[in-house]
Amino acid sequence: MGNFTFEKTSIEGVVIITPKVYGDHRGYFMETYKQSDFEEAGIDSVFIQDNQSKSKKGVLRGLHFQKTHPQAKLVRVIKGEVYDVAVDLRKDSPTFGQYVGVILSEENKKQFYVPRGFAHGFLVLSDEAEFVYKCDDLYHPEDEGGLIYNDKDVNIQWPCTEDILLSEKDKNFPTLKDLGFSF
């Protein structure tokens, strides 16, 4: 499809996207999003907000979600490398509580589509990383929820668990069993 390869994952709706990169001795060019190609691949989210963060090695941001205003996200790394994770929180889903993880980096240029109904987070593997993402709904701070990153039932296989740096908020997120809601 156009300038992208769309790879379905083990969880319905979660997609790894690899753009075609056109490069020569001067550098490279690539499309990072084209609505018609994404729609043809079954991704019909209308993105209304772009965000960017910078974090140092060992920072784990997440696992975040919006409770009543869920967001679909299209995420990528423009500097460095992260391990990015989406956890299915859709109560009626056959993959509820399961996750997909992928390495995103400035080198591989992969993107990760996380549909509504998922907790999302990432761990910085490089000295620092710049992370950019599109959202299909606005951020509502009062609506934010979270899932603890080391929930034993979800059992995310983070590539590195030493020296993880978490915000105070992220340290106190509940387990999947304690969430008590569904999208």
Burial (CB < 10 A; 0-12, 13-18, 19+), residue 78, is middle
Q: Is 25 among the catalytic positions?
A: no
Assess contact for 46 and 33: CB atoms under 8 A.
no
Nearest by Cα to 131 from 23, 42, 59? 59
Neighbours of 76 (CB within 10 A): 23
| H/E stretch holding 171 | helix 168-171
Q: Is 133 among the catalytic positions?
A: yes
Q: Which of 83, 99, 113, 133 is catalytic?
A: 133
Q: Which of 64, 83, 99, 113 is catalytic?
A: 64
What amino acid positions are annotated as catalytic residues? Answer: 64, 133
